[in-house]
Structures are given as structure tokens and as C-alpha cells.
């Protein structure tokens, strides 16, 4: 990411449920307008109008994330993202950035498991300029070794500020995928080893661009206050001539069913307190189990009414807060492969990890032993719906563009955004119980700990199995 | 009753486009659209509490925020974080609702109660589904006026704060900022970002409850509601649940007298691969006529991705990832600060480049073209900041805290556009003087100390 690591806040979707005890009728569910076309070169384009403010969000997504970066180049997908800001055919270094900012807009890029994205939020009247600029860098980069060396320095500093000079750096967002997954694509250090970052060459950059940064491997989304006819014309004009490139077969990124609990711990000299995370592999997306798990996340992990907060904080005072996330680098929707639900806490040294895990287990057992009562499930649905609205609005319309881009890219179906609620509405207490039994098995979980102390004591010798 | 209209102009002037031979030139921007937000309506209750309702957008949610003039400013010398601890207790139940009940009630509205204290204000509120805005107002009223302060919750909240304190002080950025604030503000409460562990352990339930009792009340409160909501129902809920609140104390006025001279402090962080820099100095308060000029200057100097300092130490030198400068305000007070985490071996070079960029702007004004780009950026950012429920509330809250009047927001973009290159140079000369800067570095002393020699005698 060129600037600061952004993370979309919580997310999830819910049904058009009546809220328990509501005094007023709930507003009808949002219907998001969608105009979806695929250009002749394979570029998937979604337009969605929203005239709340005279701004537009332009999001360009490439179907390349850090899961499938080259094996001897950990962190390369992310390093490459930085190179996209270093100059293209008609815009030299810093010119893209200045073009956006000097027109009153903001921009950023980020690299995630299954995509790399670039976006701008600008005043509406600058839309054509942005489309031209984004097309320019899809056509080709114009960078040299000075740019590469500069960004290797920047990215190494990014890893230092976010990981190496931090007491808990990488907890749990790098630690957990590395510990819980077995397939290299999901289990490597995607931020990158410093030596791999140093090893990157201009040739690597060119090859990566040629292979993955093709229109038929991308989606373009415009959300906001724009004129549809003019916008389609601009998109045709600037993007339609970019040639498609045959894509390599996607590697197998699947994870086998986990059959045995995993444990991993590391020492951190700078950490003053222990940190604990428990991760569970999630159900496959859009299955009935997956919809049920979305509600389980709300019920067990989100907010002060959640069962984990009530048990761990209010009742047992084992910690001060419980954080649960169905995707540590995004939300429940913007990924395309195996994913983990991660619950994490910071606690004092006189509280054992076992006492925390057992407190969580006591509430999981409740969910597994009998169908959850209707009012509690309904409250989970209300929370889900409200959080979903906030997800859509995130960053002035960019949150909506993010989901539309992912659904276009991964499902060829951006209209899914308007149907998700139906899936959550259908979840029954029995479905929740079945899903909890299969996915909240102790054998489906991984426990990761960061412990205060000198690294020599435990570095590189994670205890495996249980 | 007072009605204001926020009119934000997006009528930015066309940005300059750099044309280079043999290159295609970006298509010019079209005609800007004007942006008129629905008028916020402000009224006052008999007890002195003010209320501002702002309809916004189409997403069926409402942001409800009660802002109280109570924060770090109101803490005594041995009371750091007492305001935060009091805020923590507001989510722990009311005299008629347990903590669990309160949490469930908010959750059933699609929201979660937040309560946190800053330097000057404590915010208590929630973001809920549209149809529940009135209910949320009533619950927030209960949480603020009738908190239960249960003893068991207090023990846990204090333990949590002890853990947060230890974790914060294991990170270089909080250490740098608190050292910077201490060096600049001396004995004033703005100096104290963290208590000692012993101090925190000594806080009692009665002390915390006492802080809230002494510092809350209608006269210090302003309730904001923004988003989609039934205005009549919300107003009714406000009057029903806040009319009975005691007036309480008037806001405390206690401006600081920050130190404005070169001081250099090195905080040793053995083996740190990076140095964390916090450097800056006191500037003018938001009510000053140079305030907007200073903010534009800041965006040009270090406050945006394309700014001079960021272009230099990140995009040219590769010393750092996220350098950033800001103008940070409290009541009748503000400072300019550049912060950056730089490779340890480039600490001295980074300081030198940052100061060089400041000097360059003091020596000569920016070109009209460079300034125009930054003005457009500042104006655009302002529009984006006003494009969300919480953003609108924060803008109104800022204008009210600093007594800027409603014209501040409506004329902001125009005033940004009026800044001239000479203004930028003058403002930099007057307010951003390297000789008056406090410089704090958190880093590996063995590597860094020799690099700091050109910048003054370091106080460890």
C-alpha cells in the first residue's frame, strides 16, 4: 500500500429482519443499482450510481493477491503494488499522485489475499481524468531500477514500522494464516522476508505486470454521482483497446479439512503482556454453513452483547476486550479462497491461555448443544445488517465499490450484493447449531500466542499439535 | 433556535496538467457540481444543553453523539487517564440497566455504545439503524446521566487500562508522542498522555465517579444527530430524556503556555531497526485568521502524499514508509508536528531533509501552480470529510469547540482558495521556525546519538 495500511472495518450482511422490540418499522433493505458489462477484452465493469455527494469512487481490481505470488519472492505482490505508483507511459513518478490530489481527491492501493486494488475518491467532474490515468497504467509501466530500489526501501520500512519495531508485529494477521494453513499459498509470510524483497529485479516486475495486469484479469468499478452514458463512453474509449492476455492456470489454493488442533507460540522481547488468538477455518463461501457462520460471528464475537465478551470480560474478567474477525485483512466478502475466523485477546500473565480457551469453549458448547433462541439470532441479524450498511459506506463509497469489484472478479456476479441478505434471512437456529458443531470443533482450530520474553528461548521452535 | 446551511463548493479550479513532449495529456476535468448539505438545525434546552440535528444521505442509519466538555484538561496533576476511566465506566450499566442489558439494547438497534475521553471532550454515542435513532438518544441520555459505576466493573476496567498502558509504552510511536507533549506542555494537562502504573493502580471507584459528577452536566453538553432519522421523534426523545439534566459546571478554560524553543530528546530503544521521530512546535489556535493558511501550508509541506517532505524522504530517498505532518488543535492551542518512522541509519539524514524542506518554504514561496494543486486537495478533502454522518458531526464539533461560528464551515473552501503563495511563505516564516522546534527521537541510542549531534544537545 503506498500509504498506511487500511483495513475496512467490520462487515457482514443481514436480512431485512424486524429488530426485536423495535418501536418503528425498519426501513426497506437497500437496493444497490448495478449496471454490469464485460468489454470485448474481458474487462469487467460495474457502474453504481449514488448521488448523495458530488464525488465518485473509482476502483480497479486485479485478480492477483499474495496467495499466488512467486515462491522465491515472498512479499512480491505487495512490492509490485508500490511499483504501480512509480510511473506509466504518460504519467511520470509522482504525477499520478499529484493528478489525483491536485484535483481534490484521495488515492491508495492495497494488496490482499486474492486481489490487488487501486482506488481514488474524487469530485465527480474529475471522473474522466481518473479513468484515463487508470487506463494509462493498465497499458504499461515506465519505471527504472532507481524506482525499484526506492520502493524496496519504502516497503522494507513499511515492514519495519508495522512488524519489526512493534511488540506484537504481525499478530495475529500474519501469524495466524502461517500457523493455521498447510498449503504454501496460504501459509507463507506475505508481507515478505527482507532478503526476498531485496532480491526482486526489474525483470520480475515486468513479468508480473505482463502476466497478471491484463484487462481480462481485472474489474473496474465506478460508484457515485456520475452520468452513465458519458461514463460508458469514456470507459470504452480508454480501456477497450487494451489487449487481453491469456492467463496462467490458477494454482490449487485449497486447504484440507483440519483434523487436529495446532498450536504455535513465539516470544517477543518487547511485548509486555501475552497475546492469544484462536483461529477456525471458515465454511466455503455462499454455502448455508457460511451464511450461518456470518451470524455466529455476530453472536459470539461482535460487540459487547456477544457471548465471548459477556463470558471473558463481564463474567470472568480474563481480559478487557475480545476482537473477532472473519478476515483479518478485509471483511467476510472480499476474498476468494480458504479463510480464517480469528478471535484475539491481550491478557495478563497470571491468566492462562487455557482459562481463556475454556471460557470460549463453554459458550461454543452452548451453541453446539441446542438451537439458539430466536430473539438472540434475530439480534445477530440486526447487527449484521447494520454493520453491512457501514461496510458499504466505508471511505465515501469505496466500501461499496470494493464489494462490487470482488463479486465481479470472483463470481462474475456483482448483483450478489443485493441477494446476500436473503441468504442470512434463511438461516435457522438448527443451521447455526449444525455449523457450530462442524466448524467450531477444537480440531478445526489453531491457537497462536505471543509471549513476553527473550526470543532465544523459543524462536523458531513452535510447539505443534496437542 | 438557529439554522445554518452548510454550502460546500466543489468549484475547484482546474488542476494544472504537466505536459511533456510526446506524451498524451490527461483529459481536463469537467464542470464542478455544487454541493449543498441539508441544513443542520441547532436548538438549546432550558438547562443550557445544545442540540444539532443534520439530515444526511440515504443509508438508513443515524449517528448520535453526545459531546461533553470534559477530558484530560479537567484532570489534576495526579489524575491522568481519570477522564478515560470515567468514560470506560459509562458502558458498564446505568442505575436501571445492567451492563449486559445496555449492550443488548444497543445491539438490538444495530449499534454499540462508545464512550471515550480526549484532551478537551468526552464523546458518548452510537451509530444505529435509522428507525431507532430516538431510542438511542434515550439510552445515551441514561448512560451519561445515570451511570451505575459498579465496583466489580471498575476493578476490571482499571486492570484493562494497566494492560493498555504497558502495551502502549512498548510501542515507539506513543513513547515519541508523549515525550513530545511533555517537553512542550510542562505542567499543563496537555503534557500528560500516560499515567504511571502506580498512579493508575491508586485510582478508586469514588475518585472516578467523582470526576464524572464534577465534570458532566447540560451546560457542557452538545448532542449531535446526523443521518437518516425522524426529526420530530428525535427532538421529542431529546426533550423527554435531557430536559431534567442538571446544568452542571461551565466549561473549564485553561489555555496552556507551551514551550517554543529548540529541544532535542533521544529516548533509547535498544536495537530498534527504525527511529521514530516526532518534531514540531506550538502554532496558532484555530480562531486565528492564519489558521486556514497554516493548514494549506501544512498540506503542501508534509500533510499529503504528494507533499514536499513525503516526496523527499519517502519517494526520493526511501528512508521511511509513512511520514506525515499535521496541525493538531486543542482549546486555544495547537501545534504543528511532523512524524516519521525512518531507518535507524538514516535518522540524521531524515531530520536534515525535513528541516531543509521547512527552510526552503521559508526562503521562497511555492509556485502558484504547486499551491493551486494543494488548495484543490485541501478543498476536496474537506468535501470528503463532510461526506459521512460521523464526518459531518466531527466538523460541527470542531467548529463549536473552537468557537468558529457556522461561517467557518460554509466559507472554508473559499478561504482555502484565497491563500496566496506569499501567505504560505509568511505563515511558514512566522509559525514553523526550526529554531523553536522540539525534536524527539525514539531509537537505538548507539546508532542514533552520533547522528543527532548537528541538531542540538540531546537530553536523554
d(C-alpha B201, C-alpha B163), whole Å: 11
A161 chain-B contacts, CB cut-off 8 A: 274, 320-322, 341
- B19 has pLDDT over 80: no
- What Å distances lie between residue A206 and A42, A84, A102, B141, CA to CA? 21, 11, 29, 60
Helix extents (H) in A7-144 = 76-83, 95-101, 127-139
CA distance A194 to chain B (A): 12
Nearest to A22 among B27, B107, B131 (CB): B131
Taking CA–CA distances from B342, the nearest residue in chain A reads A157
CA distance A284 to chain B (A): 26
B381 chain-A contacts, CB cut-off 8 A: 104, 106
Taking CA–CA distances from B133, the nearest residue in chain A reads A24
φ, ψ at B443 (rounded to 5°): -170, 180
What band does A441 get if pLDDT is binned at 50, 70 and 90?
very high
- What mean pLDDT comes out for the span A221-229? 97
- B51 has pLDDT over 70: yes
d(C-alpha A353, C-alpha B53), whole Å: 47
- The owner of cell 466543489 is B10
| Cβ contacts from A onto B, under 8 A | 273
Taking CA–CA distances from B384, the nearest residue in chain A reads A396
d(C-alpha B418, C-alpha B124), whole Å: 37
pLDDT digits (tens, 9 = 90+) for A92-129: 999 999 999 999 999 999 999 999 999 999 999 999 99
B317 chain-A contacts, CB cut-off 8 A: 150, 153
Choose from B18, B115, B168, B384 for mutation: most chain A CBs within 10 A: B384
pLDDT value for B7: 39
B157 chain-A contacts, CB cut-off 8 A: 320
Rounded to the nearest integer, the mean pLDDT of chain A is 91
Query: Which grid coordinates belong to A18?
Result: 424486524
| Predicted TM-score of the model (pTM) | 0.92
Whether B57 sits inside 8 A of A52 (CB atoms) is yes
Taking CA–CA distances from A85, the nearest residue in chain B reads B315
B110 chain-A contacts, CB cut-off 8 A: 19, 382-383, 385-387
pLDDT value for A456: 58
Closest by CA to A266, choosing from A160, A163, A112, A155, is A163
Whether B110 sits inside 8 A of A382 (CB atoms) is yes
CA distance A445 to chain B (A): 27
pLDDT digits (tens, 9 = 90+) for A279-301: 999 999 999 999 999 999 999 99
pLDDT value for A358: 98
A398 chain-B contacts, CB cut-off 8 A: none
Whether B317 sits inside 8 A of A103 (CB atoms) is no
Whether A154 sits inside 8 A of B374 (CB atoms) is no
What band does B13 get if pLDDT is binned at 50, 70 and 90?
very low
- B4 has pLDDT over 60: no
Taking CA–CA distances from A319, the nearest residue in chain B reads B160
- What mean pLDDT comes out for the span B308-328? 96
Nearest to B376 among A104, A225, A314 (CB): A104
B272 chain-A contacts, CB cut-off 8 A: 165
Whether B163 sits inside 8 A of A389 (CB atoms) is no
CA distance A251 to chain B (A): 32
SS3 of chain B: helix, strand, coil, percent, to 5: 45, 20, 35
CA distance A259 to chain B (A): 35
pLDDT value for A251: 94
**8 Å CB contact between B101 and B93:** yes
Nearest to B110 among A270, A383, A392 (CB): A383
**8 Å CB contact between A163 and A191:** yes
d(C-alpha B191, C-alpha B72), whole Å: 10
Helix extents (H) in A169-258 = 175-180, 184-187, 194-199, 202-212, 228-239
Choose from A10, A14, A32, A98 for mutation: most chain B CBs within 10 A: A98
Closest by CA to B399, choosing from B416, B383, B387, B411, is B411
CA distance B156 to chain A (A): 6
B350 chain-A contacts, CB cut-off 8 A: none
Rounded to the nearest integer, the mean pLDDT of chain B is 93
B385, with CB counted inside 10 A (0-12, 13-18, 19+), is: middle
Nearest to B61 among A54, A136, A389 (CB): A389
Whether B131 sits inside 8 A of A53 (CB atoms) is no
pLDDT digits (tens, 9 = 90+) for A135-179: 999 999 999 999 999 999 999 999 999 999 999 999 999 999 999
pLDDT digits (tens, 9 = 90+) for B214-240: 999 999 999 999 999 999 999 999 999
Taking CA–CA distances from B16, the nearest residue in chain A reads A102
Taking CA–CA distances from A303, the nearest residue in chain B reads B112
CA distance B420 to chain A (A): 16
CA distance B128 to chain A (A): 7
Which ipTM did the prediction report?
0.93
- The owner of cell 498540506 is B299
The percent of residues above 90 in pLDDT, for chain B, comes to 88
Taking CA–CA distances from A27, the nearest residue in chain B reads B60
What band does B345 get if pLDDT is binned at 50, 70 and 90?
very high
A98 chain-B contacts, CB cut-off 8 A: 306, 373
pLDDT value for A29: 66
A156 chain-B contacts, CB cut-off 8 A: 343
What band does A466 get if pLDDT is binned at 50, 70 and 90?
very low
- A21 has pLDDT over 60: no
- What mean pLDDT comes out for the span B372-387? 91
Whether A27 sits inside 8 A of B27 (CB atoms) is no
B320 chain-A contacts, CB cut-off 8 A: 154, 157, 161
d(C-alpha A312, C-alpha A308), whole Å: 6
pLDDT value for A27: 52
- B17 has pLDDT over 70: no
Nearest to B306 among A30, A98, A104 (CB): A98
- The owner of cell 524506482 is A147
A379 chain-B contacts, CB cut-off 8 A: 104, 107-108
Query: Is residue A322 helix, strand or coil?
Result: coil
Taking CA–CA distances from B25, the nearest residue in chain A reads A90
For residue A172, whether the previous peptide bond is cis, meaning omega lies within 30 degrees of 0, is yes
B56 chain-A contacts, CB cut-off 8 A: 52
Whether B319 sits inside 8 A of A157 (CB atoms) is yes
Whether B32 sits inside 8 A of A125 (CB atoms) is yes
**8 Å CB contact between A443 and A259:** yes
d(C-alpha A230, C-alpha A210), whole Å: 30
Whether A160 sits inside 8 A of B57 (CB atoms) is no
Whether B159 sits inside 8 A of A320 (CB atoms) is yes
- A229 has pLDDT over 80: yes
**8 Å CB contact between B67 and B221:** yes
Choose from B107, B307, B316, B448 for mutation: most chain A CBs within 10 A: B107
What band does A20 get if pLDDT is binned at 50, 70 and 90?
very low
Choose from B298, B306, B309, B366 for mutation: most chain A CBs within 10 A: B306
Query: Is residue A35 helix, strand or coil?
Result: strand
Taking CA–CA distances from B341, the nearest residue in chain A reads A161
pLDDT value for B39: 83
CA distance B25 to chain A (A): 7
d(C-alpha A241, C-alpha B27), whole Å: 17
- A348 has pLDDT over 90: yes
Query: Please, what is the end-to-end C-alpha distance for chain B in angstroms?
Result: 55
pLDDT value for B152: 92
Amino acid at each position: 500500500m503506498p500509504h498506511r495500511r487500511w483495513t475496512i472495518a467490520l462487515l457482514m450482511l443481514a436480512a431485512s429482519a424486524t429488530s426485536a422490540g423495535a418501536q418503528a418499522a425498519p426501513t426497506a433493505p437497500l437496493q444497490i443499482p448495478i449496471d454490469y458489462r464485460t468489454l470485448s477484452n474481458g474487462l469487467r465493469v460495474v457502474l453504481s450510481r449514488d448521488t448523495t455527494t458530488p464525488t465518485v469512487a473509482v476502483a480497479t481490481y486485479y485478480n492477483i493477491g499474495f496467495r499466488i505470488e512467486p515462491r522465491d519472492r515472498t512479499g512480491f505482490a505487495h512490492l509490485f503494488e508500490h511499483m504501480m505508483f512509480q510511473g506509466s507511459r504518460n504519467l511520470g513518478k509522482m504525477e499520478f499522485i499529484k493528478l489525483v490530489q491536485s484535483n481534490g481527491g484521495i488515492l491508495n492501493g492495497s494488496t490482499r489475499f486474492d486481489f490487488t486494488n487501486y482506488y481514488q475518491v474524487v469530485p465527480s467532474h474529475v471522473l474522466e481524468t481518473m479513468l484515463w490515468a487508470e487506463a494509462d497504467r493498465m497499458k504499461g509501466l515506465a519505471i527504472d531500477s532507481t524506482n525499484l530500489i526506492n520502493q524496496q526501501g519504502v516497503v522494507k520500512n513499511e515492514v519495519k514500522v508495522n512488524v519489526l519495531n512493534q511488540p506484537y508485529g504481525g499478530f495475529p494477521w500474519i501469524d495466524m494464516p502461517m500457523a493455521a494453513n498447510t498449503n504454501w499459498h496460504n501459509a507463507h509470510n506475505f508481507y515478505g522476508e527482507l532478503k526476498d524483497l531485496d532480491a526482486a529485479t526489474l525483470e520480475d516486475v515486468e513479468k508480473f505486470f505482463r502476466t497478471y495486469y491484463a484487462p481480462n484479469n481485472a474489474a473496474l468499478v465506478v460508484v457515485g454521482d456520475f452520468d452513465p452514458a458519458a461514463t460508458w463512453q469514456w470507459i470504452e474509449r480508454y480501456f477497450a483497446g487494451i489487449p487481453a492476455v491469456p492467463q496462467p492456470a490458477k494454482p490449487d489454493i485449497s486447504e484440507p479439512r483440519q483434523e487436529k488442533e495446532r498450536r504455535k507460540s513465539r516470544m517477543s522481547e518487547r511485548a509486555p503482556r501475552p497475546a492469544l488468538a484462536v483461529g477456525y477455518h471458515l465454511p466455503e463461501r455462499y454455502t448455508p454453513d457460511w451464511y450461518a457462520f456470518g451470524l455466529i460471528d455476530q453472536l459470539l464475537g461482535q460487540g459487547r452483547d456477544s457471548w465471548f465478551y459477556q463470558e471473558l470480560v463481564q463474567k470472568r474478567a480474563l481480559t478487557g476486550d475480545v476482537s473477532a474477525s472473519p478476515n483479518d485483512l478485509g471483511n467476510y466478502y472480499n476474498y476468494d479462497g480458504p479463510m480464517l475466523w480469528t478471535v484475539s485477546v491481550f491478557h495478563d500473565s497470571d491468566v492462562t491461555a487455557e482459562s481463556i480457551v475454556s471460557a470460549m469453549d463453554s459458550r461454543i458448547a452452548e451453541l453446539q448443544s441446542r438451537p439458539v433462541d430466536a430473539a438472540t439470532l434475530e439480534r445477530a441479524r440486526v447487527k449484521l445488517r447494520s454493520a453491512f450498511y457501514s461496510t458499504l459506506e466505508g471511505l465515501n463509497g469505496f466500501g461499496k465499490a470494493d464489494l462490487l469489484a470482488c463479486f465481479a472478479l470472483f463470481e462474475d456476479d456483482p448483483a450478489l450484493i443485493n441477494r446476500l441478505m436473503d441468504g442470512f434471512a434463511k438461516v435457522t437456529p438448527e443451521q447455526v447449531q449444525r455449523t457450530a458443531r462442524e466448524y467450531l470443533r477444537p480440531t478445526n482450530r489453531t491457537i497462536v500466542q505471543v509471549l513476553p520474553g527473550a526470543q532465544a528461548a523459543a524462536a523458531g521452535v513452535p510447539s505443534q499439535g496437542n | 433556535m438557529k439554522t445554518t446551511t452548510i454550502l460546500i463548493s466543489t468549484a475547484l479550479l482546474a488542476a494544472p496538467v504537466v505536459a511533456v513532449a510526446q506524451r498524451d495529456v490527461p483529459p481536463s476535468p469537467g464542470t464542478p457540481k455544487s454541493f449543498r448539505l441539508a441544513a443542520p438545525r441547532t436548538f438549546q434546552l432550558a438547562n443550557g444543553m445544545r442540540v444539532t440535528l443534520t439530515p444526511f444521505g440515504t443509508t438508513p442509519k443515524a449517528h448520535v453523539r453526545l459531546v461533553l466538555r470534559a477530558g484530560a484538561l479537567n484532570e489534576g496533576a495526579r489524575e491522568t487517564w481519570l477522564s478515560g476511566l470515567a468514560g470506560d465506566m459509562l458502558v458498564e450499566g446505568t442505575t436501571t440497566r445492567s451492563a449486559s442489558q445496555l449492550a443488548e439494547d444497543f445491539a438490538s438497534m444495530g449499534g454499540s455504545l462508545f464512550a471515550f475521553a480526549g484532551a478537551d471532550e468526552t464523546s458518548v454515542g452510537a451509530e444505529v439503524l435509522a428507525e431507532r435513532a430516538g431510542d438511542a438518544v434515550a439510552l445515551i441520555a441514561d448512560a451519561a446521566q445515570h451511570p451505575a459505576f459498579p465496583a466489580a466493573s471498575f476493578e476490571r476496567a482499571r486492570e484493562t487500562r494497566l494492560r493498555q498502558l504497558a502495551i502502549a509504552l512498548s510501542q515507539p510511536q506513543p513513547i515519541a508522542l508523549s515525550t513530545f507533549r511533555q517537553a512542550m506542555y510542562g505542567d499543563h494537562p496537555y503534557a500528560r498522555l500516560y499515567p504511571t502504573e502506580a498512579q493508575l493502580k491508586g485510582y478508586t471507584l469514588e475518585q472516578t465517579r467523582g470526576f464524572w459528577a464534577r465534570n458532566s452536566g447540560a451546560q457542557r453538553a452538545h448532542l449531535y444527530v446526523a443521518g437518516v432519522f425522524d426529526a420530530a421523534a428525535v427532538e421529542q426523545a431529546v426533550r423527554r430524556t435531557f430536559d431534567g439534566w442538571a446544568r452542571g459546571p461551565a466549561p473549564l478554560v485553561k489555555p496552556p503556555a507551551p514551550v517554543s524553543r529548540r529541544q532535542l530528546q533521544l529516548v533509547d530503544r535498544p536495537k530498534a531497526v527504525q527511529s521514530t521521530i516526532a518534531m514540531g512546535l506550538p502554532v496558532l489556535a484555530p480562531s486565528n485568521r492564519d489558521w486556514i493558511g497554516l493548514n494549506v501550508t501544512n498540506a503542501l509541506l508534509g500533510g499529503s502524499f504528494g507533499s514536499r517532505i513525503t516526496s523527499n524522504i519517502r519517494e526520493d530517498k526511501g528512508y521511511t514508509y509513512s511520514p506525515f505532518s499535521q496541525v493538531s488543535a486543542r482549546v486555544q492551542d495547537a501545534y504543528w508536528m511532523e512524524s516519521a518512522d525512518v531507518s535507524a541509519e538514516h535518522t540524521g539524514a531524515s531530520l536534515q531533509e525535513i528541516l531543509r524542506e521547512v527552510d526552503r518554504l521559508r526562503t521562497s514561496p511555492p509556485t502558484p501552480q504547486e499551491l493551486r494543486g494543494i488548495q484543490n486537495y485541501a478543498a476536496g478533502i474537506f468535501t470528503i470529510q463532510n461526506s459521512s454522518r460521523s464526518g459531518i458531526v466531527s466538523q460541527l464539533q470542531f467548529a463549536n469547540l473552537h468557537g468558529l461560528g457556522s461561517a467557518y464551515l460554509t466559507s472554508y473552501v473559499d478561504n482555502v482558495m484565497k491563500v496566496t503563495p506569499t501567505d504560505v511563505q509568511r505563515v511558514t516564516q512566522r509559525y514553523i521556525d526550526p529554531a523553536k522546534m522540539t525534536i524527539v527521537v525514539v531509537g537505538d541510542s548507539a546508532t542514533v546519538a552520533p547522528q543527532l549531534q548537528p541538531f542540538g544537545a540531546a537530553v536523554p
